[in-house]
Copies of this chain bind each other. A is one copy, B any other.
Amino acid sequence: MSDFAPLIDHVNKRISLTEAEAEEFVHAFKLAKVKKRQFIIQPDFVPRHRSYVLQGSFRVYVVDDKGQDHTIQMSVEDWWVSDYNSYIFQKPATMFVVALEDSIILQLAHEKEQELKAANPKFETFFRIMAERTAAFFQRRIISSLTLTAEQRYDDFLEKYPLLVNRMPQYAIASYLGMTTEFLSKIRNKKVKKKS
């Protein structure tokens, strides 16, 4: 039961549930343990779940024609993780989702999500709010990629996600911000010099 407490809190921040509703909601989820370096989503397979991270961290990335990979999302505790497009539309994934540490997640199967939404309009509201926030989040990222230089994007990232900086590998952050690992390294090094 206590495994589900963080998820219930998470949902209650967005809509307010009775105890029975909370019970019903979390009951749709399945606890899963994932080892470091294990993939929970791979290209060409239809993602059957979206997952709420209880413990650990994940990286979502795509690989382009040249074999370079680009981080689409990083997830830690209290975040969700999936190949958004593919999960929502139940199409074959185009992304990899890999655990960066040993992790524990709560998985919601796509059909269970449909049942929840059909069963109670409150749940429908919850997923609507989730989607809106996701869209808002993505849009902010688009704006930052259009308006900022590589160094500014990194500064922005530092400010918004100070905790992620020390937890995620450099190459993940660099490719999330749309630059090479080498260039991010140079930016960081320049900053260290400036401070002294």
Contacts and interface: CB of A to CB of B under 8 A. Distances in A.
A140 B62 contact: no
A136 B175 CA distance: 20
Number of copies: 2
Interface in A122-177: 124-125, 127-128, 131-132, 134-136, 138-143, 145-147, 175
A174 B121 CA distance: 42
Interface SS of chain A: helix
Contacts of A141: 138, 142
Contacts of A64: 147
Nearest to A143: B62
A68 B143 CA distance: 13
Interface in A47-90: 62, 64, 68, 70, 72, 84-85, 88-89
A84 B128 contact: no
Contacts of A136: 84-85, 88-89
Contacts of A125: 117, 124, 128
A92 interface: no
Contact of A146 (B70, B127, B135): B70
A140 B143 CA distance: 14
A81 B69 CA distance: 33
